[in-house]
Amino acid sequence: MTRLRLILGDQLNPQHSWLKHPDPDVIYTLMEIRQETDYVLHHAQKILAIFAAMRDFAGQLTAMGHRVHYLHIGDSNNLQSLTANLDQLIAYFQADQFEYQLPDEWRLDQQLQDYCLTLTIQYRACDSEHFFSSRRQAAEFFGSRSRWLMESFYRQMRIQHQILMENQKPVGGRWNFDSENRKPWSGSPSISRDQRKSHDHSLIWQAIVDAGVNSLGDPQAEDFRWPLNRTEALQQLEHFIVNDLQHFGDYQDAMSRQSWRLFHSLLSFALNCKMLNPREVVLHAEAAWRDGRVPLAAAEGFIRQILGWREYVRGIYWANMPTYTEHNHFGHTRPLPKWFWDAETKMNCLAASIDQTLQTAYAHHIQRLMIIGNFALLSGLDPKSVHHWYLGVYIDAFEWVELPNTLGMSQYADGGLLATKPYVSSAAYIDRMSDYCKGCHYQKKLRTGERACPFNALYWQFFIHHKPLLAQNHRLSMVFRQLERFSDTERVAIHDQAQFYLNHLDTL
C-alpha cells in the first residue's frame, strides 16, 4: 500500500497530525510550479519566501524520517502543473491512495476536487488543522442576515474559545477597546530593532530567474528576512510579544515615514503558511496581558485581528466564492495608474506606501486600507484589477484573506456585506494619522487649485457621484449633511478638479 500525500506551499505546519510518525508507505510531495508562480504577477519576495520555506520544510520532514519527493522549479521532470505532476507521481510510485489537506483557496480546492474525480485510486481530503473555525462557520452563524458584522462573530468566537473571558463575561467589562487605539505616532515610543534572521537566498532566486518566472519588486535575495520555518516564526512571535505588543493597540492606525512597520507583528506570512497556529499566537498575547506585561487594550486589539478579522474574512470568502470576485457595486472600471508599479507619484502618502510595498512586499493594514485602497476607491479603479495587484504584491497574500479585505473591506465592491460604509477619507484623516503630508507636493488643506490634495476633491466627488447608492446609509448621514451645505459653485469646482485628476491619474 503506497500513499501519496500532497503538501501545498502554504501548508508548512510541522505539527500537523499527518507528521506524528514516519511511515515508509507514505510519500510526501511538495512542488514549486509555474501554475502557482504565474496565476497573477507576484512580488519577487513572495515567490522566494514560499519556495525557501518549502525547501526548508522538506528538509525538516526528511530529518524527521519521512519520505519526501520534492520538485524544484527547474527540474526537468517538473510538468509545472499540480495535476500533471500528481498524475506522474502516482504512476511513478504506483500509489494506491492519494491524500491532500484542504486548500484555503477556492481555485486549488476546485482543481483538486475535479482531479480526484478522475482518479481510479482512493483519495481523501484532510483538515489542515489550522483555523479556529470551519469554512462554513461564519455562514452558519450569520444565516440570512444582510450585513455580516465582524463584531458579532468575534464575540461568538471569544465565547466559544474562552479567550479574554471570565465568568462568561469579557474581561475588563468590554468586548472592544478600538476607540482607544487611534493614536498617531511622532517618533516615541521607539520602535524595536528588526531582529528577524537574515538569509542569503541568491541561489533559489537564480533558479526562479532561470525558470523564466516574471515578478515585480525587489527580491532582496541576499538579505532576506521573512521566516523560513516555525523556529524562526516563534522567535519573531516572542520578539513581538516582549517588545511591540504593548504599543500595538495605541498605534495600530498610525503611519510614518520614519518606520515602515511601527508596532505591527509581521506575522501574517508565518500564520498564512501555517508555520504558526493562530491559537498559539492568541494564547501568547492573552498570557502577556494576564501576566501584567501588556495593557488589556493592546492584547484585545491584537487578538481581535486574529480571532476576529482573520477567521471572519475566511468565512466571508467561503460563503461567497466563486462569484465574489465579480462584484463591482459602483461599476468602477479605471485601470491602475502606472505608478502602482514603480511608486513614481508626487503624492507622498502613496509614494511612501507603494515604494515600501515594492521594497519589502509588506505594508501594514492602514497603509493598505486608508492610503492605497482609499485612493483606488476614490478614483474608481476596477476592483478586480485592484484585487490582482494586492494578491501579487504582498508577502501574506493568499486569496482567502486578500480578496475579502480588498474587494469587500477596501473597495466596498460587495455593496457593504463586509464593511458598514466605504473606507474613504480626505487628506485630513491622512494628515492626522501620519507624517506623509509634511513636504508633499500637494497641499493637504486645499480642495481646488493646481496644488490641491487629490484626496480632497476626489472624496467629495465620490459622494456626489454615488449619492444614489449611499445616501440611505445612516453611518454616512453626517457626510451627506456636509455635502448639502456646498453651494452649486463649490460643487462645480469640486467636480472639475476631480475630473481633471481622474483624467491625469498617471501623472499625479
Ligand X SMILES: Cc1cc2nc3c(=O)[nH]c(=O)nc-3n(C[C@H](O)[C@H](O)[C@H](O)COP(=O)(O)OP(=O)(O)OC[C@H]3O[C@@H](n4cnc5c(N)ncnc54)[C@H](O)[C@@H]3O)c2cc1C
The least CB distance from residue 47 to ligand SF4, in Å, is: 31
Q: Is 53 or 347 the residue whose CB approaches ligand SF4 more closely?
A: 347
CA 216 vs CA 43, 353, 468: distances in Å? 5, 16, 39
Q: Which of ligand SF4, ligand X, none does 103 bind, CB closer than 5 to 8 A by kind?
A: none
Q: Which of ligand SF4, ligand X, none does 264 bind, CB closer than 5 to 8 A by kind?
A: ligand X
In the range 39-78, which residues lie near ligand SF4 by CB under 6 A? none
Q: Is 419 or 458 the residue whose CB approaches ligand X more closely?
A: 419
Helix (H) or strand (E) holding 108: helix 106-117
Q: Which of ligand SF4, ligand X, none does 405 bind, CB closer than 5 to 8 A by kind?
A: ligand X
Of 164, 427, 458, 470, the residue at the interface with ligand SF4 (CB under 6 A) is 427
HSE-up (13 A, CA, CB side) for residue 486:
19
The least CB distance from residue 367 to ligand SF4, in Å, is: 12
| Region near ligand SF4 per CB under 6 A, out of 32-40, 116-124, 325-333, 344-352 | 344-352
Q: Which residues pair with 69 in a beta bridge?
A: 29
Q: Which of ligand X, ligand SF4, none does 466 bind, CB closer than 5 to 8 A by kind?
A: none
Residue 366, interface with ligand SF4 (CB under 6 A)? no
Q: Which of ligand X, ligand SF4, none does 221 bind, CB closer than 5 to 8 A by kind?
A: none
The least CB distance from residue 442 to ligand SF4, in Å, is: 4
| Integer-rounded Cα radius of gyration of the chain | 24
Of 265, 320, 348, 405, the residue at the interface with ligand SF4 (CB under 6 A) is 348
Q: Which of ligand SF4, ligand X, none does 402 bind, CB closer than 5 to 8 A by kind?
A: ligand X
Binding positions for ligand X, rule: CB under 6 A: 264-268, 271-272, 305-306, 309-310, 313, 364-365, 368-369, 373, 390, 394, 396-397, 401-402, 405-406, 409-410
| Grid coordinates of 279 | 491559537
Q: Is 289 or 501 the residue whose CB approaches ligand SF4 more closely?
A: 501
DSSP 136-149: THHHHHHTT-SS--
In the range 153-192, which residues lie near ligand SF4 by CB under 6 A? none
Of 391, 430, 479, 505, the residue at the interface with ligand SF4 (CB under 6 A) is 430
- Alpha-carbon distance of 466 to 462, in angstroms, equals 6
- Alpha-carbon distance of 257 to 239, in angstroms, equals 23
CB contact set of 450 (below 8 Å; sequence gap of 6+): none
CA 239 vs CA 242, 250, 341, 349, 362: distances in Å? 5, 18, 33, 29, 18
Of 90, 245, 267, 349, the residue at the interface with ligand SF4 (CB under 6 A) is 349
Q: Is 371 or 479 the residue whose CB approaches ligand SF4 more closely?
A: 371
The least CB distance from residue 339 to ligand SF4, in Å, is: 12
Q: Is 348 or 405 the residue whose CB approaches ligand SF4 more closely?
A: 348
Q: Which residues pair with 110 in a beta bridge?
A: none
The least CB distance from residue 99 to ligand X, in Å, is: 27
Q: Which of ligand SF4, ligand X, none does 374 bind, CB closer than 5 to 8 A by kind?
A: none
Q: Is 253 or 431 the residue whose CB approaches ligand SF4 more closely?
A: 431
Q: Is 182 or 279 the residue whose CB approaches ligand SF4 more closely?
A: 182
β-pairing, 169-170 vs 165-166, is antiparallel
Buried-state track 169-195, b at ≥16 Cβ within 10 A, e below 16: ebbeeebbbbebbeeebeeeeebeeee
Of 53, 303, 347, 386, the residue at the interface with ligand SF4 (CB under 6 A) is 347
H helix runs in 197-310, sequence order: 202-210, 230-239, 245-248, 268-272, 278-290, 296-303
Sequence-ordered strand ranges (E) for 303-354: none
In the range 435-464, which residues lie near ligand SF4 by CB under 6 A? 436-437, 440, 442, 444, 453-455
Q: Which residue has the cell 482609499?
A: 374
How many residues are given for the chain?
A: 508
Torsion of CA 308, 132, 230, 392, to 10 degrees: -60
Name which of 400, 481, 442, 486 is nearest 130 in CA terms. 400
Judged on CB neighbours under 10 Å (0-12, 13-18, 19+), 90 is buried
Buried-state track 268-282, b at ≥16 Cβ within 10 A, e below 16: bbbbbbbbbbbeebb
| Region near ligand SF4 per CB under 6 A, out of 32-40, 122-130, 218-226, 423-431 | 423-431
Q: Ramachandran region of residue 448, left (φ > 0), alpha (ψ -120 to 50) or beta? A: beta
Q: Which of ligand X, ligand SF4, none does 430 bind, CB closer than 5 to 8 A by kind?
A: ligand SF4
Q: Is 141 or 429 the residue whose CB approaches ligand SF4 more closely?
A: 429
Query: What is the binding site for ligand SF4 (CB under 6 A)?
Result: 347-349, 427, 430-431, 436-437, 440, 442, 444, 453-455
